[in-house]
Amino acid sequence: MPLLTQFDTPGSLRDFPAGSAFYGRWHDVINGMLGATPTPGSGGVGELYNPHVTNVNVVGERLLVWMGFPRGLLLANRDNRQQAFELGDKRSATERNTQVEYLEWQMTKEGGKIKKVTFVTETPEYWQTMFTFDRNRVLSLYRELVNPSITMADITDAGGSYNPLNAWNTTKGIVHYIVVSPANTLSAAIGLAKDSVTLGRATHAQDNYELSPGAQTSADPRVQTDVNMLARKGLSVTGREPIGLYMVAWDDTGWTKPDGSPVGNYWRIPRGRPGAALRLEYEVPASEGFFVSDIRIGGRPITHGGHLAEHVTVMLGGIAGTRAA
């Protein structure tokens, strides 16, 4: 197939008018992450490549999917799930964060009850690139998504640079990823894919038992296993356009209203689209007369945002093929 002319924005977002130079800026970011030359697989078999510079005949797609709630918390607290969910809601600018599956969320409360839960898979690289290009556009998006009273000083540091750990992206709201260990960034996801074609071995792992141990997450082993498997077949692998991390499914089967009847569709996608959501909100309409925390999942009341995150599926899309002649 022809070389990719320009990388698209995550979810094909159009935060600037058509033809804006911003889209070229974002292309440069992704192009730089993937590099000018392919990353060879173990023993010289397979590779991770940049479709802008390497011509590959695509033979198929593979969606790498995992649960949004941190697997490590469930493993460490297998006999105390309530403790796992309490820990799962930790997300701040100063504490060690627990939302490490490339999904971060925050609850909005009213009168002590959960009114809304907001989930994001937006990356800091995208917002930093936007800010460098047009800081006023970033401010307008913050006002639209979080609070109309936000000022430029609220989202910048003393030197006027963008501050991703500003209060409206940590304690007072949520816009994009902030977790850094393991890093919830697009560059980290691409770096994981690059590492997965090699895994530090002379030959490819033959199955999941041979894989090098990594973070106790759902995301990292999923990417490692699938990318390594594709490279082991001698295939060239890259991210599916538009490259990004997405929420692809959310299952409210078995969720009930206070009267015991099934819940309605209370999900909303402010950014992205069905099958590729970047921002997802769960809020009961005021006309229903109850809050999110009045809903029960399998008979148990919702007390934490993680109760919902356990039902959200995150995805990184990949494609694989063979080098074009």
Number of domains in the chain: 2
Residues 230 and 313 in one domain: yes
Alpha helix (H) residue ranges in 197-283: 219-232
Q: Is the peptide bond before 182 cis (omega within 30 degrees of 0)?
A: yes
Q: What are phi and psi of 255, to 5 degrees?
A: -85, 140
* 174-214 confidence digits (pLDDT tens): 999 999 888 999 999 999 999 989 876 667 776 666 766 56
Residues 131 and 270 in one domain: no
Residues shown for the chain? 325
Burial code of 173-196, b = ≥16 C-beta within 10 A, e = fewer? bbbbbbbeebbbbbebbbebbbbb
Residues 310 and 278 in one domain: yes
Could you tell me if 108 and 116 are in contact, meaning their C-beta atoms sit under 8 angstroms apart?
yes
pLDDT at 134: 98
Nearest-angstrom CA–CA distance, 51 and 61 = 14
* 14-65 confidence digits (pLDDT tens): 999 999 999 999 999 999 999 999 999 988 899 999 999 999 999 999 999 9
* 209-264 confidence digits (pLDDT tens): 676 656 678 898 889 889 988 999 999 999 999 999 999 999 999 999 999 999 99
28 lies in some domain: yes
Q: Which domain holds residue 147?
A: 124-176
* 121-158 confidence digits (pLDDT tens): 999 999 999 999 999 999 999 999 999 999 999 999 99
Could you tell me if 80 and 325 are in contact, meaning their C-beta atoms sit under 8 angstroms apart?
no
Residues 317 and 218 in one domain: yes
Residues 27 and 103 in one domain: yes
pLDDT at 211: 66
pLDDT at 162: 98
Nearest-angstrom CA–CA distance, 7 and 50 = 10
Residue matched to tokens 């590779």: 47
* 79-123 confidence digits (pLDDT tens): 999 999 999 999 988 878 899 999 999 999 999 999 999 999 999
| Residue 325 clears pLDDT 80, i.e. is over it | no
Residues 297 and 206 in one domain: yes
Nearest-angstrom CA–CA distance, 30 and 9 = 9
Residues 158 and 307 in one domain: no
Nearest-angstrom CA–CA distance, 257 and 296 = 7
* 278-310 confidence digits (pLDDT tens): 999 999 999 999 999 999 999 999 999 999 999
pTM of the entire structure? Answer: 0.95
Residues 146 and 88 in one domain: no
Tokens of 239: 């991210």
Residues 75 and 217 in one domain: yes
310 lies in some domain: yes
Nearest-angstrom CA–CA distance, 225 and 206 = 10
| Residue 68 clears pLDDT 60, i.e. is over it | yes
Q: Look at residue 39 and give its three-state secondary structure.
A: strand
